[in-house]
């Protein structure tokens, strides 16, 4: 992964979301970002891209813009976490780690996404945006295994990795959907939960988790 791109994202974490119609040059920039694989992007252009804001774009570019911003934010989280190595000491105090309202009956709990980025989207739209941003859906059946193998609480995984939880009100209860960025080390651990035999006869982490939380 382009180290300069990672550093750029670390310093420019916020799209402006100012309500001003995007200029032709900004449209051209957005088209470049949407057509170019993230690892091949020019990192010097990331600040200008994040400053555009999806509400300032024509509707046909908005989903692609949001999904690319998602991926850049996820890349930031993964890069920051990787600096800690195999054993992580979770910090759950980040102001970006919070639950927020998206739409009536829908809430998100994430340190990757923000309310301005996600507000107003329907559940199918949220699922599509996450998929376009290279997030994979996790089965709730394997969440206990993921917590056990990593010794990380759900809060740890949300605040210190890229786990994002979408909750939807269903009558008097809520239904929860779990997503994680594809390059997050938790994704490797999740694969060990879904395929218990993975790695037993190979050198693929020896069947052991690639990250642990230490409290």
In this predicted model, what pLDDT tens digit does every residue of 104-129 receive, in sequence order? Answer: 999 999 988 888 889 999 999 999 99
With beta carbons less than 8 A apart as the criterion, state whether 135 and 166 touch: no
pLDDT for 8 equals 52
pLDDT for 148 equals 95
pLDDT for 96 equals 74
pLDDT for 85 equals 87
Pseudo-torsion of CA 183, 108, 94, 116, nearest 10°? 100
pLDDT for 94 equals 75
pLDDT for 158 equals 94
Residue that is written with structure tokens 């056990």 in the block: 148
Sign (positive or negative) of CA dihedral 22, 25, 31, 32: negative
Residue 207 Ramachandran class (φ > 0 left, ψ -120 to 50 alpha, else beta)? left
Could you say which residues of the chain have pLDDT below 50?
A: 7, 10-18, 202-206
pLDDT for 3 equals 57
């Amino acid at each position: 992964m382009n180290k300069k791109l990672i550093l750029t994202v670390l310093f420019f974490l916020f799209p402006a979301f100012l309500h001003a119609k995007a200029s032709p040059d900004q449209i051209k920039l957005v088209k470049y970002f949407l057509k170019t694989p993230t690892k091949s992007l020019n990192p010097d252009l990331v600040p200008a891209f994040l400053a555009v804001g999806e509400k300032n774009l024509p509707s046909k570019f908005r989903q692609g813009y949001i999904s690319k911003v998602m991926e850049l934010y996820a890349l930031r989280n993964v890069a920051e976490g990787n600096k800690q190595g195999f054993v992580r000491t979770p910090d759950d105090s980040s102001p970006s780690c919070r639950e927020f309202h998206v739409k009536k009956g829908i809430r998100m709990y994430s340190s990757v996404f923000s309310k301005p980025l996600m507000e107003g989207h329907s559940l199918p739209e949220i699922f599509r945006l996450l998929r376009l941003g290279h997030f994979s859906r996790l089965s709730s059946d394997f969440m206990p295994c993921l917590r056990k193998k990593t010794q990380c609480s759900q809060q740890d995984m949300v605040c210190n990795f890229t786990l994002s939880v979408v909750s939807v009100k269903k009558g008097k209860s809520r239904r929860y959907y779990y997503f994680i960025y594809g390059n997050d080390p938790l994704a490797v651990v999740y694969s060990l939960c879904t395929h218990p035999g993975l790695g037993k006869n190979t050198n693929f982490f020896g069947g052991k988790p690639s990250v642990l939380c230490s409290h």
